[in-house]
Amino acid sequence: MSDTQSAKKGLGGAALFYYGEPMVWLTGSALVLCVLMILGFLAYILWMGMSTFWPRDLTEYQLKNNAVISGEVHIEESYELPEGAFGNLSTEIQKELQPIITNGNSDRIMVRTCNYDVSGTHFDWIDANLITKQSDPEWLCFMERLSKKPFIGYPQAFVIDGQVSVEGSKETWDALHKVLAEVQSRFKKRRALEKHALGDLRHEETDARMYAIEVMLESGEDSAEHKAALDAYESAKARISKDSQVILGEIDALKLENSKYQIRMQTGDGKTLEIPVAEIVRIYAPNRAGLFSKTGVYLSRWWEFLTDDPRQANSQGGIWPALFGTVVMTLLMTMFVVPFGVIAALYMREYAKKGPLLSTVRIAINNLAGVPSIVFGVFGLGFICYIVGDWVDQTFYPAHVHEALPVFKKGGILWAACTLALLTLPVVIVATEEALSAVPNSMREGSYGCGASKWQTIWRIVLPRSLPGILTGTILAMARGAGEVAPLMLVGAVKMAAELPTDPSASFMHLGFHIYDLSYHSQDSEAAKPMVFTTTLLLIVMVAVLNIIAIRLRNKLNKRFNIQTF
């Protein structure tokens, strides 16, 4: 005790540094700062992502210039009045607002008005001083539509076959809900027919045509085989077109049945619009809905988000194809990268002679990890798609080449997985090498001492023992691969894929690319913003889930191998 004190005194100001407390505080607070930033970022994404789908209340504002604006309030803020503010209003109102104009500061709110097809705007800014009356009308409804932006308005009348069937908000609401479910199920049926039945027929037709061309290329144009194949194709085509007619007939019948019902909606400022019931995805009146039905809307939106296709340039609807594409692509990538990475690391650690060559290779691999990802994209496009893909097409799809229809000579999920496997290879190699070198030499010697060969030692002792470390590398590679976007733009990720990528040559949708596309390439960025947050949340959750699975697996293995020996 006294020794310590005298030491402190003796060292004077340096004593603090001598005992290291400032460094403890410095390093500790740096860590806290890092953790806080990460937590803050996650909390922000979580809050924005989770709250997007909650149905907001709708408010109606009456303004001094007799305009009526209704919608969801998104932002309330104070602002500095610009030069010539209120200039478009009448002189009386301007006179009334003179003190505020002189003051120069005011409050404003941003209302999401929707009704783009009626008003031509998505959002409106209202100065708070213009509001004369504010109300939450009971029957103001929020309607999500299939092919257009959402609509906010009052149900006015229900129309069947062009005849008004009932009028009044409540009556219209009830009449609508009597038929809504069946109309929606008819629509789903129609979409399934279009997507699957017609799609299958199209594929069948292409296959038959390609087969005929293949026969022609093999046996010559005038050969008997080609004639037979052509005949087969013609008959297949006739059958397919007949089948298509039947399906198209079914689709038309469903369309006709659905087009009977229309709903007439009135906006807050009195304009009316007739909307086909088949267009309605979801309609709710938030001001009269209780917590229970709001929760219902919230959950149904999440369900749609996770399981459905996107609508309206991806800014509405679901992201199922992107989720599917991301998971499949990541798994494919893992299947490629892990065996290659482990084999490469095994050779480098267990077989290769130490020397300048090995060091060079190791440095090269570490540098590979630092290469910008877009470079891998360019390589993937230039080499994998255009050279390897071209070879595959020339060899296996001569008919497609003849028709200038590339199969593998373009971006696709297989090539994307290969490109990302290359990108994440260094991660796996480095982690595996580390895991291999962490296997105690005494275990290797024990195995050799029993008369095991090198490969037996590696296979039975070294690999099982380093499995947890290899899995760590795999986790890192998966997390990196799932979040990568830039190279995918070049090798197969697309804004909208008609079908799920069940075929290795198919283009696919990807969550990361989806986020990029929504943020920068949608014509209505404010409407897409919530979707960006939700998709980001989903991507983070997906990566987290993949990681948690792998970490649990690793811990299980760790328990098996790393029991304290003494």
Partner 1 sequence: MPQDTKSIVKAIANGEEVGSHIHKALDDVDPILSVENFNLHYGEKQALFNNNMVIPSMQITALIGPSGCGKSTLLRSVNRMNDLIDIVRISGDMKLNGESIYDPNVDVIELRKRMGMVFQKPNPFPMSIFENVVYPLRISGERNKARLEEVCERSLRKAAIWDEVKDRLDENALGMSGGQQQRLCIARAIASDPEVLLMDEPCSALDPIATGKIEELIHELKGSYTVLIVTHNMQQAARASDFTAFMYLGRLIEYGPTSDIFTNPHLHDTGEYVSGRFG
Structure tokens that stand for 367 in this block: 């540098």
Question: Judged by CB under 8 A, does residue 442 bind partner 1?
Answer: yes
Task: Choose, by CB under 8 A, the member of 13, 356, 370, 449 that binds partner 1.
Answer: 449
Question: Judged by CB under 8 A, does residue 447 bind partner 1?
Answer: yes
∠ CA 453-459-461, rounded to 5°: 90
**Spatial CB neighbours of 106, under 8 Å, sequence gap ≥ 6:** 78, 79, 81, 100, 127, 128, 129
Stretch of 97-105, 213-221, 456-464, 499-507 lying at the interface with partner 1 (CB under 8 A): 456-464
Stretch of 30-38, 257-265, 343-351, 451-459 lying at the interface with partner 1 (CB under 8 A): 451-459
Binding mask 421-440 for partner 1 (x = CB under 8 A): -------------------x
Give the dihedral of Cα atoms 499, 501, 507, 511; nearest 10 deg.
Answer: 100
For partner 1, which is the closer residue by CB, 99 or 451? 451
Question: Judged by CB under 8 A, does residue 566 bind partner 1?
Answer: yes
Least distance to partner 1, CB of residue 458, Å: 12
Task: Choose, by CB under 8 A, the member of 277, 458, 461, 546 that binds partner 1.
Answer: 461
Question: Judged by CB under 8 A, does residue 75 bind partner 1?
Answer: no
Least distance to partner 1, CB of residue 440, Å: 7
For partner 1, which is the closer residue by CB, 308 or 434? 434
Distances 121 to 105, 149, 401 between C-alpha atoms, Å: 25, 11, 48
Least distance to partner 1, CB of residue 442, Å: 4
Structure tokens that stand for 106 in this block: 């005011």
Task: Choose, by CB under 8 A, the member of 375, 445, 503, 545 that binds partner 1.
Answer: 445
Is residue 196 a contact partner of residue 210, using CB atoms and an 8 Å limit? no
Q: Where are the alpha helices (DSSP H) in 97-147?
A: 98-103, 116-119
Stretch of 159-167, 326-334, 377-385, 453-461 lying at the interface with partner 1 (CB under 8 A): 453-461
Question: Judged by CB under 8 A, does residue 5 bind partner 1?
Answer: no
Sort strands 163-167 and 151-160 into parallel, antiparallel or unpaired. antiparallel
HSE-CB for 29 with a 13 A CA cutoff? 5
Task: Choose, by CB under 8 A, the member of 228, 443, 545, 549 that binds partner 1.
Answer: 443
Binding to partner 1 in span 523-562, by CB under 8 A: 560-562
For partner 1, which is the closer residue by CB, 196 or 460? 460
Binding to partner 1 in span 318-357, by CB under 8 A: 353-354
Q: What amino acid is encoded at 324 in this protein?
A: F
Number of helices (H), then strands (E), belonging to the chain: the values are 22, 13
For partner 1, which is the closer residue by CB, 78 or 564? 564
Task: Choose, by CB under 8 A, the member of 230, 398, 448, 499 that binds partner 1.
Answer: 448
Question: Judged by CB under 8 A, does residue 199 bind partner 1?
Answer: no
Task: Choose, by CB under 8 A, the member of 131, 328, 452, 496 that binds partner 1.
Answer: 452
- The end-to-end CA distance of the chain, in Å, is 36
For partner 1, which is the closer residue by CB, 225 or 445? 445
Least distance to partner 1, CB of residue 359, Å: 16
Is residue 511 a contact partner of residue 439, using CB atoms and an 8 Å limit? no
For partner 1, which is the closer residue by CB, 16 or 438? 438
Question: Judged by CB under 8 A, does residue 359 bind partner 1?
Answer: no
Binding mask 463-502 for partner 1 (x = CB under 8 A): -xx-------------------------------------
Using DSSP's 3-state secondary structure scheme, residue 72 falls into: strand
Question: Judged by CB under 8 A, does residue 460 bind partner 1?
Answer: yes
Task: Choose, by CB under 8 A, the member of 402, 446, 520, 521 that binds partner 1.
Answer: 446
Total residues contacting partner 1 (rule CB under 8 A)? 25
Give dist(CA 157, CA 257) in Å, integer.
19
In the block, tokens 């046996």 appear at 219
Mark 116-135 as b/e (b = at least 16 C-beta within 10 Å).
eebeeebbbebbebbeeeee
Give dist(CA 483, CA 25) in Å, integer.
34
DSSP element (H, E) containing 438: none
Least distance to partner 1, CB of residue 473, Å: 19
Question: How many CB atoms sit inside 10 A of residue 114's CB?
Answer: 27
Give dist(CA 192, CA 331) in Å, integer.
28
For partner 1, which is the closer residue by CB, 120 or 451? 451
Question: Judged by CB under 8 A, does residue 453 bind partner 1?
Answer: yes
**Spatial CB neighbours of 180, under 8 Å, sequence gap ≥ 6:** 277, 280, 283
Least distance to partner 1, CB of residue 563, Å: 4
Least distance to partner 1, CB of residue 439, Å: 9
Q: What are phi and psi of 344, to 5 degrees?
A: -60, -45
Sort strands 310-311 and 280-284 into parallel, antiparallel or unpaired. unpaired
Question: Judged by CB under 8 A, does residue 451 bind partner 1?
Answer: yes
Q: What amino acid is encoded at 558 in this protein?
A: N
Give dist(CA 271, CA 284) in Å, integer.
20
Least distance to partner 1, CB of residue 466, Å: 10
> Residues in the site for partner 1, rule: CB under 8 A?
353-354, 440, 442-443, 445-453, 456, 460-461, 464-465, 560-563, 565-566
